[in-house]
Amino acid sequence: MAMSIGPVLAAVLIVFVVAATAVAEEAKGAQSTYIVHLAPDHPALALSAARSGSHGALLGRVLQLPRHLQAPRPRLIYSYAHAATGIAARLTTAQAAHIATQPGVLSVHRDEARQLHTTHTPAFLSLSQAAGLLPAASGASGTASDVVVGVLDTGIYPIGRSSFAPAIALGPTPSTFSGGCVSAGAFNASAYCNTKLVGAKFFYKGYEAGLGHPIDESKESKSPLDTEGHGTHTASTAAGSAVPNAGLFDYARGQALGMAPGARIAAYKICWSSGCYDSDILAAFDEAVADGVNVISLSVGSSGLAPSFFRDSIAIGAFGAVKKGIVVSASAGNSGPGEYTATNIAPWILTVGASTVDREFPADVVLGDGSVYGGVSLYSGEPLGSTQLPVVYAADCGSRLCYLDALDKEKVAGKIVLCERGGNARVEKGAAVKQAGGAGMILANTEESGEELLADSHLVPATMVGQTYGEKITHYVKTDPSPTATIVFRGTVIGKTPSAPQIASFSSRGPNYRAPEILKPDVTAPGVNILAAWTGEASPTDIDIDPRRVEFNIISGTSMSCPHVSGLAALLRQAHPDWSPAAVKSALMTTAYNEDNSGETIKDLATGVASTPFVRGAGHVDPNRALNPGLVYDADTADYIGFLCALGYPPSLIAVFTRDGSDADCSAKPARSGDLNYPNFATVFSSYKDSVTYHRVVRNVGSNASAVYEAKIESPAGVDVSVTPSKLVFDEENGSLAYEITLAVAGNPVIVEAKYSFGSLTWSDGVHEVRSAIAVTWPSGGASSM
């Protein structure tokens, strides 16, 4: 499934042929936004976006447009200098195609819209004062207070939100941070920013260009102010201050606490009601790097297959950030449970999947025949009580998926409606039932979502049930001559779930579409039914007909799991300021756990069986163990350039990442992309006689300089695994040691049903367990030993 990179001009020209076809219906001469990556000495970089309105002709000249292509005049939107080198400009397809052929132009691609990947978790993660990751008391000096987390999202809503108040003695803003807050519209920087919220900026030019008109400020704020809620939620999850007695209505009451409550927050608003544009994302990366953030949290990505790295503005911006020592954590996406759905899959990005915690909001369906089926809900209105009400199947009332304006009011009025998941928003289904006069809703999962349960603050008494219970309820409704039911809401329950964590069905999965030998996602973290701060500008359901406003909200997505890991990265950055982004990632990956609280392998809610490394990555983050991982797999940008060389990228395209004006030297490239010093292993066998060897280097970061580690191998089915040497003896002079791991088809394999086999390699010194997942993809099927 990996894309092979051909000659650079051919690749770029293909891009423009596709782009030209896509806009064939546009009027001749219509402009679109293009991102143009340039050599560092290109004269276009000297132009300021502030001067673009009156210097379109100058931009056309420095981009070497011939006379017949100088109209309409190109318009500069952004100039990039820190996370990337280039510009964003309004160009016609003909202008863009011509520019792509000019000297000093590295890559050109159209601006694309990305989508958002929509405080019990500190306890679930066992974050402890004893481990040194959390402050001892709310008045004490806050751990991670020297760290700034840059949150690229929908902005921030600090008005009346204690999550963004400096509740602990933070002291002055770190001297390494040079950013700040921008006043605009409804956002008053002097009133809202403080030693906790140290940065707030907004990026809208790509969005407005895509809209074709200015932002409607009656609907969204052209300022850092969050009118959607998503950015406020993610920022408070990563680094929110402690807030007592937080909750959504009467659900999840307790202390809300970000992962790194002592860290500072800098909010960069890149997402608007219609999406998040690459040009704005790259501008925010550029600004965050220049400001001096330490961690970047990005819960945004593609909704389809991951783009090629050289056309992926997130991958490019993240590379520039990592080059400056900034950890970049990003969501894997919500396109599961299909294969190859993970996005943000570049190896320099910490890619996060989503899983459950041991807290639920049970709401049971009680049928007229006495059967009781468990579900979940955050409904807070008047309950139905014990009286049984008639139940109807939505498919018999005009809309199986319960769309607005589609249900038959005569059939629905006064009844509980059984709706199926999919097609439209879950809360919108309940709104459709209410609109039609229904008394309540049972929302049943289909095969696609399996047993995944997501709680919502519905507008009618409603609950969600899994596929199995949904099928039983459907059978009852179809076969009983007078089916009835009620819903019983049971509040908040902690620690009584069958098992936790479990991987959410929506969580995007591997294998890695662009680099099959890099296992993605990297880790999983809490992302289901997460409580965090919310905007005062939108309802908890985020639908217009809901008039309610709340200080905290409970939502789900890899958008929620990403900031958990971003906050943990901030804690590790404070504890180990000399660690590289790769070392921080390695510590979180190799110490992750793979068993739930019942001692079984973490389950996949999409299948109901054990998850695999393509679903959970290295496992579920364990912050206390990550503080002292024993060994780390380190890498720098030179290693990532070697990885790109091994993928087949030509030096001229790699220059998009290096940005130094010189071609990358691929003469000494690794034998394969999997030779990158990555903590996990993923191999694709080309035949049933294949054998693959990878090289790794580990650095001892434990307190014992003379530690001795021995290898423990769990071989994937049908694979022989050998490690040389099998013992690593460290001392004062040899703090880093190399080893080789060989994966070979075992014996005489036969093709079987499974496409994949999984195992692990663990280095142990009796104190630390440094675990690496192993994933094997078989050619056209699977293999096992006879």
Tell me the catalytic residues: 153, 230, 559
Cβ neighbours for 347, distance < 8 A, ≥ 6 positions apart: 515, 518, 635, 640, 643, 676, 678
Task: Quickly list DSSP for 682-750.
Answer: EEE-SSTT-EEEEEEEEEE-SS-TT-EEEEEEEPPTTEEEEEESSEEE--SS--EEEEEEEEEE-SS-E
Which residue is listed with tokens 């709680």? 455
Contacts of 772 (CB under 8 A, 6+ apart): 589, 590, 618, 679, 680, 681, 760, 761, 762
**Cα separation of 230 and 153, whole Å?**
7
- DSSP 8-state secondary structure symbol assigned to residue 416: E
Q: How far apart are CA 554 and CA 569, in angstroms?
A: 23
Contact 115, 276 (CB under 8 A): yes
Contact status, residue 328 vs residue 350, Cβ threshold 8 Å: yes
- Helix-helix angle 581-590:558-575, to 10 degrees: 110
What would the two tokens of residue 539 be?
């309802």
Tokens found for residue 561: 């799991």
**Kind of pairing, strands 727-729 and 708-714?**
antiparallel
According to DSSP, the β-strands at 530-533 and 416-420 are unpaired
- Distance, CA of 776 to CA of 685 (rounded, Å): 7
List, in order, residues 6 or more apart from 726 with CB less than 8 Å away. Answer: 710, 711
Residues 322 and 330: their CA atoms lie apart, in Å, by 13
Q: How far apart are CA 583 and CA 764, in angstroms?
A: 18
R_g over Cα of the chain: 27
Rounded to 10 degrees, what is the CA torsion of 11, 12, 17, 19? 120
Give the C-alpha separation, 430 to 411, whole Å.
16
Adjacent-strand bridge partners of 532: 553
Q: Which residue has the tokens 């002055």?
A: 172
Residue 271 corresponds to which tokens in the numbers above? 């997402």
Structure tokens at 18: 């596709």
DSSP classification of residue 307: P
How many angstroms separate the CA atoms of 659 and 118, rounded?
33
